[in-house]
């Protein structure tokens, strides 16, 4: 079945006959924060329809390990608690299952989120749009204990001061320079520097940099020295290949790729301010900030347009 207004309903078994199970199947092979945004869209739809949400990153996800990890084959559960008391296995034995797959239901959900015509670009969104996703994120999405500890320990090791005095910066490099259709025009380090300098002049004391590009990290270190905070245990690229698709021999590389970008988003949300381009990571940082009932006191989203 296809069509932008389609709601796909499956009968998998006899369990949960009196409940509408809403299965959020993330099938695309895009970046982690793009996948998380898809989850949030599905949660928004489930909430509107009165469904009980269950999330699955399908086995061929770019974040899936070849063997079960942490007693699960569902990569979503590497990082998060399941979004309801219904397990993924139980969902696939349930009587009435609403199935979310972006290929046929995303336009309908986006219209509900925007309350109007859908934009041509997935990167042009309002605060109201982000707050709707933040609301369902807060209601349904919880980091599992292992991920919570990883992020908390990372934050304490990196900086023990007040994160409200840190300006968070996210810059995409690597494959963003390929000029993908309907993707943002790349914002370069020289576009960031005046904005960061201005933020430092308004009272911010440190700069936290989240980037997928090793060359950009070097440029920022040269400019900001000891004021720059960044994680060293991150797989970054030096070419024009998306880091999610770069082969690496480290153990559990697929899982760690997702974990590291998730940590970046949560740490950016902890900062008092944000400077970023149009990206899925910066969008998640803003969603997470709103989900904590907070707002940045300083924010600059650098927009050079869409290809």
Compute the distance between CA of residue 177 and CA of residue 237 in angstroms, rounded to an integer: 13
Q: Where are the domains of the chain?
A: 8-140, 161-302
What's the pLDDT score for residue 106?
83
Distance CA 116, CA 77 (A): 34
Tell me which residue of 31, 278, 306, 34 sits closest to 185, measured CA to CA: 306
Res 108: pLDDT: 86
The mean per-residue pLDDT over the stretch 54-75 comes to 95
How many whole angstroms from its chain centre is CA 184? Answer: 17
Report which of residues 121 and 185 the model is more confident about: 185
For the segment 92-111, the average pLDDT, to the nearest whole number, is 90
CA dist., res. 277 & res. 304, Å (int): 8
Average pLDDT, the chain: 91
Length of the chain: 307
What pLDDT is recorded for position 15? Answer: 98
User: Cα(89)–Cα(230) distance, rounded to whole angstroms?
Assistant: 39
- Angle (CA) 35-78-133 rounded to 5° is 35
Average pLDDT for 131-136? 98
Backbone φ and ψ for 86, nearest 5 degrees, come out as -85, 125
Residue 6 pLDDT:
73
- Tell me what the mean pLDDT of segment 9-34 comes to: 94
Fold of 161-302: Rossmann fold (3.40.50)
For the chain, the straight-line distance linking the first and the last C-alpha, in angstroms and rounded, comes to 31
pLDDT at site 23: 98
Give residue 3's pLDDT band: very low, low, confident or very high (50, 70, 90). Answer: very low
């Amino acid at each position: 079945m296809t069509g932008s207004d389609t709601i796909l309903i499956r009968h998998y078994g006899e369990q949960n006959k009196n409940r509408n199970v809403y299965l959020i199947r993330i099938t695309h092979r895009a970046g982690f924060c793009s996948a998380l945004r898809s989850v949030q869209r599905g949660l928004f739809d489930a909430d509107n329809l009165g469904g009980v949400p269950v999330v699955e990153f399908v086995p061929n996800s770019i974040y899936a390990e070849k063997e079960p990890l942490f007693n699960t084959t569902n990569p979503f559960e590497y990082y998060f608690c399941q979004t309801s008391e219904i397990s993924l296995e139980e969902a696939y034995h349930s009587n009435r299952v609403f199935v979310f797959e972006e290929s046929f239901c995303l336009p309908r959900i986006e219209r509900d989120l925007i309350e109007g015509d859908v934009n041509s670009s997935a990167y042009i969104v309002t605060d109201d749009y982000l707050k709707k996703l933040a609301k369902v994120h807060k209601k349904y999405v919880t980091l599992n204990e292992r991920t919570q500890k990883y992020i908390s320990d990372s934050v304490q090791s990196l900086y023990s001061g007040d994160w409200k005095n840190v300006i968070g910066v996210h810059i995409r490099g690597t494959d963003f320079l390929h000029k993908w259709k309907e993707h943002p025009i790349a914002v370069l380090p020289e576009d960031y520097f005046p904005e960061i300098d201005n933020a430092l002049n308004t009272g911010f004391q440190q700069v936290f940099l989240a980037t997928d590009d090793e060359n950009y990290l070097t440029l920022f270190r040269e400019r900001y020295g000891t004021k720059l905070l960044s994680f060293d245990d991150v797989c970054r690229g030096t070419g024009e290949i998306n880091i999610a698709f770069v082969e690496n021999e480290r153990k559990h590389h697929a899982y760690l790729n997702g974990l590291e970008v998730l940590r970046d988003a949560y740490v950016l949300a902890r900062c008092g301010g944000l400077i970023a381009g149009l990206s899925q990571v910066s969008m998640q940082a803003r969603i997470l900030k709103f989900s904590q009932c907070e707002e940045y006191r300083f924010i600059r989203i650098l927009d050079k347009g869409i290809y």
